[in-house]
Amino acid sequence: MKLGILGGTFNPIHYGHLRAVEEVREMLELDKILFIPSGKPSFKKPELADARHRFKMTGIAVKGSPHFGISDIELKRRGVSYSVDTLGRLTAQYKNAEFFLVLGIDAFLDLPSWKQPDKLLSLANLVIISRPGFSFINLLTSPYLKTVHKKTMERLDKADVPDFYKSKNVFLCKITGLDVSASSIRRLIRDGKSLKYLLPDSVESYIISNKLYKGSEK
């Protein structure tokens, strides 16, 4: 089984996440995508909804696809969850799976500050996806992308249809650009604006009924 992994805070989950992994799933012929909402951070982060709410919203959103699933592996863990530990536990759990770790360019740029990035990359194929505001060419200096040439990055940055490049266990995927972020959604909520067409209606209803992101929730 080819298993895609998308970790995130999902604060809240939106169509930028959902469409991205749907395209990756089709392009790389993955069998399933597992969404992994992060648990409680070690220090209080302003605007971060409780892990239970983020888990529930993600669960509601992924219900729409038979190919999507959700894992509570980070929710259940006490203390900080490091991706390398999460992936290590998942590889032990899904013995017959080949893993594809999906990261937006922005997330990949942070990789050097993560715990044991080399070990993390040894556990899975790496799938870097495009995101509006970021270019593959920004990855040129990354110590973790030595086998990808500048010309390939430039070609993908210019591509106007979904496309991908593979080099060993690294994939660069140019996907349809949806300029949506959880932070822009939280800003719209604070400003009392509509969220329609940025995230599933069911997630919007959950946010409204639980009064999330209005500044008063824990």
- Which residues here bind ligand ATP, judged by CB under 6 A? 8-11, 16-17, 20, 103-104, 106-107, 129, 131, 178, 180-183
Shortest distance, CB of residue 179 to ligand ATP, whole angstroms? 7
The tokens describing 8, both together, are: 């995130």
Comparing CB distances to ligand ATP, the nearer of 108 and 148 is 108
Shortest distance, CB of residue 160 to ligand ATP, whole angstroms? 16
Comparing CB distances to ligand ATP, the nearer of 7 and 148 is 7
Shortest distance, CB of residue 20 to ligand ATP, whole angstroms? 4
End-to-end CA distance of the chain: 39
The rounded distance, in Å, linking the Cα atoms of 46 and 90 is 29
Shortest distance, CB of residue 103 to ligand ATP, whole angstroms? 5
With the CA atoms of 172, 149, 108 and 28 taken in that order, what torsion angle do they form, in degrees rounded to the nearest 10? Answer: 10
**Other beta carbons within 10 Å of 168:** 9
**Is 7 in a helix, a strand, or coil?**
strand
Which residue minimizes CB distance to ligand ATP?
104
Comparing CB distances to ligand ATP, the nearer of 16 and 148 is 16
CB-CB contact of 148 with 169 (8 Å)? no
DSSP strand pairing (98-104 vs 2-8): parallel
Shortest distance, CB of residue 96 to ligand ATP, whole angstroms? 25
The rounded distance, in Å, linking the Cα atoms of 5 and 71 is 10
Comparing CB distances to ligand ATP, the nearer of 128 and 148 is 128
Comparing CB distances to ligand ATP, the nearer of 9 and 125 is 9
